[in-house]
Structure 1
Amino acid sequence: MSDLYYETSYRWNSEEIMEATYKCGYCGSKITSDEGMYLGELSSYGQNNNSLPQGVFICTNCKLPSFIYNGIQVPGINFGNSVNNIPDNVNSVYEEARKSFSVGAYTGVILLCRKLLMHVGVNFGAEENKNFVYYVNYLKDNHYVSQNSGEWIDSIRKFGNVATHQIVVNTKEDAEKMIKFCEMLLKMNYEYPALMNEEN
């Protein structure tokens, strides 16, 4: 991206921006925008060519700016989906994990997912200030995790232990798996029961 700093290669322009379709990193909406300021590649004649959808685009939903260039989007996209009807302290940790993913902080995602399980356990009656294994066992023993999901929760334990106690950098794939599991856990224990209560 160093060439972006040299006006001999690129120049900003706010006229006739080429539209871009992207998922907004702020509000999560998939939108198509032709508002903003494009980054045009300069030709040998000094013309500012707008041949690619790159530059700063304004979200048509939330009106906030995103920078898109050569496969890079800033702010990035939060992985996973928001979950309804969960307590604020649980939700804040879950959303922090999703935001960490958007900036490539994959080891941070793993550690936050580990912390999330502790918050969920305490929210469902587990004692505070216990070790992590206690919270994993509490969720499993009290059936907040389905029988078929035991391997998932063990994966969070293993990934979390490695991230906490060893010199390791977790991958994007690791982080995706952990967020997927946490989303499932939260939906099964908060969002879906709330939907049933509304029906009744």
Structure 2
Amino acid sequence: MVTPFDDVYVFSTGHTYSTSSERAYATGDCPKCGAHQFVVVAVTGTQDAAWLRCLKCKLAVVANHGVTSPPQLPLRVPSGLPVDEGAVWNEIRECLGVGAFTASVMLCRKLLMHVAVAHGLPAKNAKDFAPTFAQCVDRLLAEGIVTKRMEPWIERIREVGNEANHEIAPVGKESALDVATFTQKLLELAYEMDDTMSKAQPAQ
């Protein structure tokens, strides 16, 4: 019978447990496939470090004091994202996963401006300058991607993004997750809704 240990080789120190032991399994979210159960290949006596393997996709994960590598990625990927937007959004999630909160906020601000350009805002003006954040917001409003009621969370992206761009003080986890969550909603409105509607159209 195939088991998760078939291709795993470990150095024995005399402390072992069987695959029938409760210690041999752990729960969590796999960073790769999203499955929820791991087999514990090895663990320290104090259980502050563990070497895990996903039971579904066989991804190897290391946990040190509750921090896993590779990290679990927060939030989700909206459907219908173009390749470039999808790549940047995944990079934002990776930054959040490893605690690079300032970098994630700066990328969120950049992504918002890119969405505005993708929806008709010129990338450069007559003086070869990129659009301002306010011009990007105006474009998103004009295109109906966001409404006046959504301006406060757009302002939140601007506010925290300005701090990340112009000040050395790092952005905290809560603020970064706020900005990323708002950015996810923007992507849903800009791309996912149209993608969902196109898939819902009856076959001709």
Preserved contact between residue 92 and residue 104 of structure 2 (Cα < 8 Å): yes
Q: 1:162 to 1:59 in 2, by over 3 A?
A: same
Whether 1:40 and 2:35 are equivalent positions in the alignment is no
Q: CA deviation at 1:18?
A: 2.1
Preserved contact between residue 13 and residue 39 of structure 1 (Cα < 8 Å): no
Distance 1:61 1:188 in 2: 33
Q: 1:13 to 1:192 in 2, by over 3 A?
A: farther
Q: 1:54 to 1:193 in 2, by over 3 A?
A: same
- After TM superposition, the structure 1 = structure 2 runs for residues 1-200 of structure 1, keeping only pairs within 5 Å, are 16=18, 18-27=24-33, 29-34=34-39, 36-41=40-45, 52=47, 54-128=49-123, 129-200=130-201
Counterpart residue type for residue 142 of structure 2: D
Task: Flag structure 1 segments of 5+ consecutive residues without an equivalent.
Answer: 1-10, 43-51
Q: CA deviation at 1:74?
A: 1.5
Distance 2:182 2:149 in 1: 12
Preserved contact between residue 119 and residue 143 of structure 2 (Cα < 8 Å): no
Q: CA deviation at 1:168?
A: 1.4
3-state DSSP of counterpart to 2:24: coil
Q: CA deviation at 1:169?
A: 0.6
Counterpart residue type for residue 27 of structure 2: T
Compute the TM-score of the two structures, normalised by the length of structure 2: 0.79
Q: Which portions of structure 1, spanning 4 or more consecutive aligned residues, are displaced by more than 4 angstroms?
A: 11-15
Compare the two structures and name the one with the higher strand fraction.
Answer: 1
Q: Percent identity?
A: 28
Q: 1:40 to 1:193 in 2, by over 3 A?
A: same
Higher mean displacement: 104-113 or 188-197: 188-197
Compute the TM-score of the two structures, normalised by the length of structure 1: 0.81
Q: CA deviation at 1:180?
A: 0.9
Q: 1:99 to 1:178 in 2, by over 3 A?
A: same
Q: Deviation per CA, 1:124-183, whole angstroms, max 9, x where unpaired?
A: 111113223321221123221123211011111111111101121101101111111111
3-state DSSP of counterpart to 1:56: strand
Q: 1:101 to 1:13 in 2, by over 3 A?
A: farther
3-state DSSP of counterpart to 2:92: helix
Distance 2:105 2:30 in 1: 24
Q: CA deviation at 1:12?
A: 10
Tell me the residue number matched to 2:5: none
3-state DSSP of counterpart to 2:44: strand
Q: 1:185 to 1:14 in 2, by over 3 A?
A: farther
